[in-house]
Amino acid sequence: MLILAAAGTYKFPYPLTATWIQFIFSHMLLLIAATLSRALAYPLRYLGLGAAVAPSQPVHQKNAGYRGGTTQSPGLKRLLRLCWNPSGGIAGGGIFEFDMKIARQVFLLAVVFVAKVVLGNLSFAYTVLPVYTLSRIATVPLTLALTALLTRTSHSVSTLSASLTATLNLLIASVRPGARAPWESVLAGAVSSLFVALFPILLLQTLRKLTASLVPQGDILTFPETSNDTNTSAAQNALGTKEETRAYWRLLHYTSLLSILLLTPLVFLSGEVSDIRHNCYFLDVPWFWFLCACGGLGSFAVFLSTPLLVKATSPLTENMLSLPIGGLQLAILAGKMQGYSAVGVAGCGISCLWYMAVRRWEARKERQGRR
């Protein structure tokens, strides 16, 4: 998911620190994106994109005494309260928002996220691209197994055939006889496959929990589209959209913040900080930080869009995207390809198109069955 800060003349062989830097950039970009969405709230709502506007106030803001009630805290106590519980930020609770109850709900997701990113970057840092792709080839089969076990999802024969055929073709394309394959890198990539497969499943479950926790007790989140009362149905659907929007921004804020907190001690314990202080001579070069910012921008874009993609499609579809991307990377970055590798890349692309057609047909059939 993250791009290592190593390009051109600046080699930065510290994957944990590079990941931590890009986590910081990604969190800052999240804050900027939330602020911009609030600043552009009117045109976004006019275009029908009001659900993308980040919340500006915490849920309990309506009853907060310091917003104009008679129970305002005077002096220093009031000032500290305003500093540590302001409005805005990413999820509406300010830049330093941290609710322990919400953090506990998101903690496992953050652990899985850090594990998949760190192990993937460690694997990629010390081996070549074909071996890295080969070490993570089990991601889609693991996703199929985990979705069946954890969410009781029943996959059709067509879905299984398309996804497994695409995986097999990418496996063929990744084979490079004589390629350098350190066992540590291969092991890190193989283990990261488990976390990559688990992440979208846990992401969807966490998003649903956060949304449900925001709905008042006794109410329901979604309502039948066949309601006879048009005005009531519209109001209820708007309530559901509002709660889902807040849950989405909360998910981004707490996952990003907890990931930074989890990774920080690992960076210092790894000894990379000490090595960087003694061996890195280009930390004051603007181009190096520009490369880090570009990596952070890429991770931010993926981080922002992944919950939306998983919610709109499925965890399997989210991980299926890695197959055509992996094939394209092999074709562009892995150098001269053998004939069997080219056939594998082409077969992977065709199988992914087959998967898209199958999922589209199944979704259309499901919609017709509901009518």
Q: 3-class secondary structure for the chain?
A: CCCCCCECCECCCCHHHHHHHHHHHHHHHHHHHHHHHHHCHHHHHHCCCHHHCCCCCCHHHHHCHHHCCCCCCCHHHHHHHHHHCCCCECCCCECCCCCHHHHHHHHHHHHHHHHHHHHHHHHHHCCCHHHHHHHCCCHHHHHHHHHHHHCCCCCCHHHHHHHHHHHHHHHHHHCCCCCCCCHHHHHHHHHHHHHHHHHHHHHHHHHHHHHHHHCCCCCCCCCCCCCCCHHHHHHHHHHHHHHHHHHHHHHHHHHHHHHHHHHHHHHHHCCHHHHHHHHCCCCCCHHHHHHHHHHHHHHHHHHHHHHHHHHHCCHHHHHHCHHHHHHHHHHHHCCCCCHHHHHHHHHHHHHHHHHHHHHHHHHHHHHHHHC
- pLDDT bracket for residue 271 (50, 70, 90): confident
Average pLDDT of the residues in 320-346: 88
- Average pLDDT score over the chain: 82
Q: Note whether residue 6 is domain-resident.
A: no
- In tens, the pLDDT along 156-192 reads 999 999 999 999 999 999 988 877 788 888 899 999 9
Whether 41 shows a pLDDT value over 60: the answer reads yes
Q: Which residue has the higher pLDDT, 101 or 338?
A: 101
- pLDDT bracket for residue 232 (50, 70, 90): very low
Whether 281 shows a pLDDT value over 70: the answer reads yes
Whether 109 shows a pLDDT value over 90: the answer reads yes
- pLDDT for res 208: 92
Q: Note whether residue 165 is domain-resident.
A: yes
Whether 284 shows a pLDDT value over 90: the answer reads no
- pLDDT for res 167: 95
- pLDDT for res 364: 87
Average pLDDT of the residues in 243-250: 91
Whether 267 shows a pLDDT value over 60: the answer reads yes
Given its phi and psi angles, is residue 94 left (phi above 0), alpha (psi -120 to 50 degrees) or beta? left
Q: Which of 24-33, 236-245, 291-300, 308-317 has the lowest mean pLDDT?
A: 236-245
- pLDDT bracket for residue 355 (50, 70, 90): very high
Question: Structural domain tally of the chain?
Answer: 1
Report the alpha-carbon distance of residue 157 to residue 94 in Å, rounded. 48
Q: What percent of the chain has pLDDT over 90?
A: 47
Q: Note whether residue 3 is domain-resident.
A: no
Q: Note whether residue 315 is domain-resident.
A: yes
Q: Note whether residue 57 is domain-resident.
A: no
Range of the domain at 288: 19-50+92-370
Average pLDDT of the residues in 55-77: 54
- pLDDT for res 125: 82
Given its phi and psi angles, is residue 324 left (phi above 0), alpha (psi -120 to 50 degrees) or beta? alpha
- pLDDT for res 85: 54
Give the predicted TM-score (pTM) of the model.
0.84
Q: Note whether residue 72 is domain-resident.
A: no
- pLDDT bracket for residue 217 (50, 70, 90): low
- pLDDT for res 291: 84
Q: Note whether residue 2 is domain-resident.
A: no
Report the alpha-carbon distance of residue 88 to residue 157 in Å, rounded. 48
Q: Note whether residue 32 is domain-resident.
A: yes
- In tens, the pLDDT along 130-162 reads 899 999 999 999 999 999 999 898 899 999 999
